[in-house]
A and B are shown apart, each in its own frame.
Chain A
């Protein structure tokens, strides 16, 4: 049972080898390397192209994986949420991967939207040429920082295409919460609601005697998705814990408050607000908060724009996945009302959505306003345009809500910037207090988590509360490390055919414990083991045939009875004396006793699991002694 670890903990990618299956747990895509590149403007920007020390030559490239294992050996990939599947095309399309991917329907649909948006953002500003020579280590050394310090640039890849996305998604098999999926008869995997996003799941991977829980990107807060299923995680042998909050010190509720205050303050002063965000996820909750807040804050006349190639689909999809929503929202569907209030915002024209800044948007555009658009890295997408447009005025504000990118690095190419910048990272995933509550509730035998979670963050080394605290201490693992999970498989379940079971005659050896000897043929196929009755000994019809039969099946000799019990030495010595042996000496040894019959020059060695009679070629004596020994043992 081994766990291979890749990537950083909030975008996990782990490989679990368990009972002859190889399971990849998530395949998140770390896009922080894009911060090394210049933004891709929708219109040629003289400012950006003339920045000193910045190269505009190369296009888009993302980090791919190191070759720790042969990806073609991966049997299945389990996806826990749509953020954790962004690397899927890289794995399914170019590595010889032959397996199946399992994910819930909303995960696939919204994951598709995220990929579609990404591809669209990149492809709509095509590059005339792409440079890759700089990846040569000798040249890279000469590049300005931070490029020269970037690691493993040779593994950076171009963004995938829509074709690759479609092909990758076609390999996904949809599953529902609590659905049990058999993998080759060896293990059973089950997705459970994790409470983080629409369709997000934790996974249980279990055999008959072992249970591994994979907890990734879970939330105990009451937001839009179905609440987290904690009960099913109980009795785990190992709980793999990843995808905790990236900003443990930022309470999501306070951050939403901060978001609203800053938004109102800016708009009341006639400024515009830019919110770089993903097209799905927290945006639903933000829109819901704003829905409640704008009237009370007197902002009803301010337009809200949501600009993304997939804006429309995202807003509509969210309304149709009722069964994946929290109870509150589910009940609305029966009224019938749309579960999310953004439907009403759209109806009343307070929220408008557009595929891009071209077309209708430019006609409707009115300031001051609030714009939600991607990409949160500020390197591509419509957000680049708004940064250029509004960056010069101190009336405007950009509010960062996605925690995936360092906002200071994201802003770097736009400096000097007059616009106000507010950082309100909203990460609803588990924080450490919630983790310790969860672990107390679920009580796994062992907790396995990335190394980062077992020590306080480097910037706040005194915050002992910002780490996983459990008993026994969590086992940690690092990037690209192989970890042997701390339990041994001891049992295997074997079925007995009914006719074989009929023939057994159990004998009670202790109250409540019965034993029976079985002679059978063990049949193993698809990781299932069955005991079948042994074939009857073939009638000896002819020398040749008989020989062949003995090749096929084990020789069934007449079986000697099995013995059990222990020999009480004192009584045994008395018995020997009764039977005429004299001059008996007993010696204690480390493992048992030695009974010495000096006269007969015989030695009886009694140990816990064996008894030896050593006599000098006196078969009659040996048999006599053997029978005396057997009197003390049970036979069956």
Chain B
């Protein structure tokens, strides 16, 4: 602890102990505890208490019957726990009878303060901290705290109840870890009394008819097996697993979600997953739980690295069931693809689908989401039923838009439940997109594109559904490139393209800005992939899409303008924006895309479009887009000028990024390379001076937004490295120019806006660069802006300041 903190500590303790002093907010106390925790982890707690008796006094003070606020009481309990985590300090506090006073019967437990949830929470957290050593275990057993913890499991405050469960896990771990260390599987009679007590309590709970008690026990066990890896967990599971299995025999199964969590936790534990009984229980759970409840368990099982194949098949069929049901509902002929063959398929009667709309929708959505997560995993079930899955998703989407014809009464019910359901549509479109990773029979792919087009065309598609439909379409278009990796579109996809562009045209005119926005994003992505491809170019240039995109640069919604900027950037970099001038005004020459984007950068009132413009310019410069590549200096200069004056810090950062790309093109790429040849360097510096980069960069060094300053620092460091290779120090005399620049920099650093630098000579720039300690500046900037405010000293000062102990008031006391 630094001396300043040590000096402030007694005053702070006095403030905390004084019920008349209003203590700063809870976050201060939390920070204080964090600090004490860090201090005790770094050194001896005992020493700390001995050096600062005010701390022990504070704890003793709390014991006195008085009107202390509950938050101070809670704080003291947690603080005592932190100190007592070290065994010698624990004994030190025990000697003073402090711990029984705080955590035992005489303490807050019996007092009125116990009614405050924060006190109960503090009590639990204090015990949780101190439960680190055998002495603590004895203390817990002797003080009767374990019974209190049991009762707190049902506390009305969820935080308290949950913390009580965690504490039980801690107690179990502490009790069993020690004696059982190294032994294969300790038997129950070897367990310490405290552990036996906890385990008996858990057994009682598992046998209970009250679902909340069962849930509590399951939560405790889940945490135990999730966090504790000791061999003793085997013994515990062996003893409790029959009770868990018995829960599955009840009807209805109590606490299904907690049960699923427990089974998955056990299955994931490296110590327990070898137990064959576990897989039997899991299989039983899969068959006993309802499809909705079993879904997460099935998905969890399928994600496991290794588990019995039969169980995996069973789990997979649980996830496939709802989709298989959908397929059944429309199956016209027996030849249609089935998702579940044989016994698994027959298991599922058509009526197993939940009767209520929300339950049915929930089941379908979760099945789709689980399958979506499973698809890309290496351990996904094999063979993966790609074709029936595709057929099922297409059918779901058809049910949702009312175009599917059900073949049974159950199908009719399903149709009525799914029509217009946005949730299912979104989930199905997401999954459909993921399915594009695998191939499917041509006939099905045709159906996929057909349903996607239906969704894109339909006026009833909500904006979010439409966005998902665009995303899925893009994924399918990408996957249909033949051969994979080649950027040409398949003939069928080319046919689709014409219709897509017609839809896009209409969507770009939608009154709903989200729709226009996702349409533009889709266009940008498509152009990025196929901008150079003949049939795409032809189709696009034949449509009104490029012209509409250009018009959307004036959209009232800033997000749309930003997307339009990106789209215009992408279109014009492929030469797709050479739209003919309008037939009505043939004389008026159209602005070039470069000019148009510059106009957005200088005039748009919102940040998003301006940021987008900067990204486009950076991309253009990096990729050597024709208009920019012709004369980069001419193109970059006005952009940098505009960016340097921008009020949005992200635009300024982007401006510096653009400058960096420009620099790289002049001087070679970044990295531990050698210096640029002197001739090139001089030319480059002249060019940089002409585009007035230095004024921008130097000014940005003192920008009030740290990322801008950091970026500028990086830029100048890069330039410095290029200009002065390590070892050689070229001296350029300190001309008057240098002095004025340095003076200007000092003024800027002091926060004055000051005069512009004016014309700069390359030599002067180099001199200034050399004289500046940019490395030190970079290190300063790398520290978070509140590093001063976050120091413990500052915390203590703040807390004291709020109650007015510091400074002048101190003198007034006497």
Binary flags per residue of B469-511, CB closer than 8 Å to A gives 1, else 0: 0000000000000000000000000000000000001110111
Residue B583 is within 8 A (CB to CB) of chain A in the complex: yes
Closest to A465 in B: B416
A460 to B399, CA, bound (A): 12
Residue A269 is within 8 A (CB to CB) of chain B in the complex: yes
Contact check, B415 vs A463: say whether CB atoms are below 8 A apart. Answer: yes
Residue A261 is within 8 A (CB to CB) of chain B in the complex: yes
Residue A295 is within 8 A (CB to CB) of chain B in the complex: yes
A296 to B554, CA, bound (A): 9
Residue A185 is within 8 A (CB to CB) of chain B in the complex: no
A487 to B175, CA, bound (A): 77
CB within 8 Å of A: which of B526-571? Answer: 544, 547-548, 551, 554-557
Contact check, B511 vs A260: say whether CB atoms are below 8 A apart. Answer: yes
CB distance from B326 to the nearest CB of A (A): 14
A264 to B555, CA, bound (A): 13
Residue A219 is within 8 A (CB to CB) of chain B in the complex: no
Contact check, A265 vs B556: say whether CB atoms are below 8 A apart. Answer: no
CB distance from A401 to the nearest CB of B (A): 13
CB distance from B604 to the nearest CB of A (A): 15
- With a CB–CB cut-off of 8 A, which chain B residues contact A296? 511, 555-557
Which has the most chain B C-beta neighbours within 10 Å: A250, A254, A257? A257
Contact check, A268 vs B416: say whether CB atoms are below 8 A apart. Answer: no
- With a CB–CB cut-off of 8 A, which chain A residues contact B544? 265, 268-269
- With a CB–CB cut-off of 8 A, which chain B residues contact A258? 459
Binary flags per residue of B450-465, CB closer than 8 Å to A gives 1, else 0: 0000000011100000
Q: How many A-B residue pairs have CB under 8 A?
A: 70
A99 to B35, CA, bound (A): 92
Which has the most chain A C-beta neighbours within 10 Å: B415, B510, B512, B584? B510
Residue B31 is within 8 A (CB to CB) of chain A in the complex: no
Residue B381 is within 8 A (CB to CB) of chain A in the complex: no
From B419, B459, B511, contact of A297 by CB (8 A):
B511
- With a CB–CB cut-off of 8 A, which chain B residues contact A297? 509, 511
Contact check, B419 vs A463: say whether CB atoms are below 8 A apart. Answer: yes
Residue B48 is within 8 A (CB to CB) of chain A in the complex: no
CB distance from A431 to the nearest CB of B (A): 11
Contact check, B510 vs A257: say whether CB atoms are below 8 A apart. Answer: yes
From B551, B555, B556, B583, contact of A268 by CB (8 A):
B551
- With a CB–CB cut-off of 8 A, which chain B residues contact A251? 459-460
CB distance from B92 to the nearest CB of A (A): 71
Contact check, B509 vs A465: say whether CB atoms are below 8 A apart. Answer: no
Residue B413 is within 8 A (CB to CB) of chain A in the complex: yes
Residue B405 is within 8 A (CB to CB) of chain A in the complex: yes
Contact check, B554 vs A268: say whether CB atoms are below 8 A apart. Answer: no
From A254, A264, A465, contact of B459 by CB (8 A):
A254
CB distance from B562 to the nearest CB of A (A): 16
Q: Interface residues of B: mostly helix, strand, loop or mixed? A: loop
A251 to B554, CA, bound (A): 30
- With a CB–CB cut-off of 8 A, which chain B residues contact A424? 459
Binary flags per residue of B560-601, CB closer than 8 Å to A gives 1, else 0: 000000000000000000000001100000000000000000
Residue B406 is within 8 A (CB to CB) of chain A in the complex: yes
Residue A462 is within 8 A (CB to CB) of chain B in the complex: yes
A270-B583, A463-B402, A463-B419 in contact; A293/B506 too (CB < 8 A)?
A: no
Residue B154 is within 8 A (CB to CB) of chain A in the complex: no
Which has the most chain B C-beta neighbours within 10 Å: A255, A261, A289, A463? A261
Residue A610 is within 8 A (CB to CB) of chain B in the complex: no
Contact check, A270 vs B413: say whether CB atoms are below 8 A apart. Answer: no
Contact check, A265 vs B551: say whether CB atoms are below 8 A apart. Answer: no
- With a CB–CB cut-off of 8 A, which chain A residues contact B354? none
A462-B415, A464-B416 in contact; A298/B511 too (CB < 8 A)?
A: no
CB within 8 Å of B: which of A239-273? Answer: 249-251, 254-258, 260-262, 264-265, 268-270
A289 to B510, CA, bound (A): 12
Closest to A297 in B: B509
From B412, B458, B555, B557, contact of A464 by CB (8 A):
B412
A270-B584, A424-B459 in contact; A257/B415 too (CB < 8 A)?
A: no
From B412, B506, B554, B584, contact of A262 by CB (8 A):
B506
A506 to B411, CA, bound (A): 64
Contact check, A264 vs B509: say whether CB atoms are below 8 A apart. Answer: yes
A269-B544, A270-B584, A295-B556 in contact; A261/B460 too (CB < 8 A)?
A: no
A254-B459, A462-B415, A464-B416 in contact; A261/B509 too (CB < 8 A)?
A: yes
CB distance from B70 to the nearest CB of A (A): 48
Contact check, A464 vs B583: say whether CB atoms are below 8 A apart. Answer: no
A260 to B509, CA, bound (A): 8
CB distance from A260 to the nearest CB of B (A): 4
CB within 8 Å of B: which of A150-207? Answer: none
Contact check, B415 vs A254: say whether CB atoms are below 8 A apart. Answer: no
CB distance from A180 to the nearest CB of B (A): 40
Contact check, A265 vs B506: say whether CB atoms are below 8 A apart. Answer: yes
Contact check, B511 vs A462: say whether CB atoms are below 8 A apart. Answer: no
- With a CB–CB cut-off of 8 A, which chain A residues contact B402? 249, 460, 463
A623 to B544, CA, bound (A): 109
Binary flags per residue of A496-525, CB closer than 8 Å to B gives 1, else 0: 000000000000000000000000000000
A254-B460, A296-B556, A462-B406 in contact; A289/B511 too (CB < 8 A)?
A: yes
A251-B460, A268-B551 in contact; A257/B511 too (CB < 8 A)?
A: yes
CB within 8 Å of B: which of A429-462? Answer: 460, 462
A268-B551, A269-B544, A298-B551 in contact; A462/B509 too (CB < 8 A)?
A: no
A464 to B329, CA, bound (A): 14
CB distance from A515 to the nearest CB of B (A): 51
A515 to B458, CA, bound (A): 69
A262 to B548, CA, bound (A): 13
A258 to B556, CA, bound (A): 19
- With a CB–CB cut-off of 8 A, which chain B residues contact A257? 459, 510-512
Closest to B513 in A: A296
From B405, B511, B557, contact of A261 by CB (8 A):
B511
- With a CB–CB cut-off of 8 A, which chain A residues contact B554? 298
CB distance from B564 to the nearest CB of A (A): 12
- With a CB–CB cut-off of 8 A, which chain B residues contact A298? 551, 554
A296 to B505, CA, bound (A): 17
Contact check, B509 vs A265: say whether CB atoms are below 8 A apart. Answer: yes
- With a CB–CB cut-off of 8 A, which chain A residues contact B556? 295-296
A476 to B109, CA, bound (A): 71
A465 to B584, CA, bound (A): 50
CB distance from A473 to the nearest CB of B (A): 16
A260-B511, A265-B506 in contact; A255/B459 too (CB < 8 A)?
A: yes
A465 to B421, CA, bound (A): 13
Contact check, A261 vs B406: say whether CB atoms are below 8 A apart. Answer: no
A23 to B802, CA, bound (A): 81
Closest to A251 in B: B460
CB within 8 Å of B: which of A314-345? Answer: none
CB distance from B57 to the nearest CB of A (A): 67
CB distance from A255 to the nearest CB of B (A): 6
A260-B510, A261-B507, A293-B511 in contact; A464/B459 too (CB < 8 A)?
A: no
Contact check, A462 vs B412: say whether CB atoms are below 8 A apart. Answer: yes
A295 to B556, CA, bound (A): 8
CB distance from A265 to the nearest CB of B (A): 5
Contact check, B415 vs A465: say whether CB atoms are below 8 A apart. Answer: yes
A463 to B458, CA, bound (A): 18
CB distance from B551 to the nearest CB of A (A): 6
Contact check, A462 vs B555: say whether CB atoms are below 8 A apart. Answer: no
Closest to B406 in A: A462
A-B contact pairs, 14 of them (CB 8 A): A250-B459, A251-B459, A255-B459, A257-B459, A261-B510, A261-B511, A262-B506, A265-B509, A265-B548, A268-B509, A268-B547, A297-B511, A464-B413, A465-B416
A270-B584, A296-B556, A462-B404 given. 10 additional CB < 8 A pairs? A254-B460, A257-B510, A268-B547, A296-B557, A298-B554, A462-B406, A462-B415, A463-B416, A464-B412, A465-B416
10 interchain residue pairs of minimum CB distance: A254-B459, A264-B509, A258-B459, A465-B416, A296-B556, A260-B511, A261-B509, A265-B509, A464-B416, A254-B460
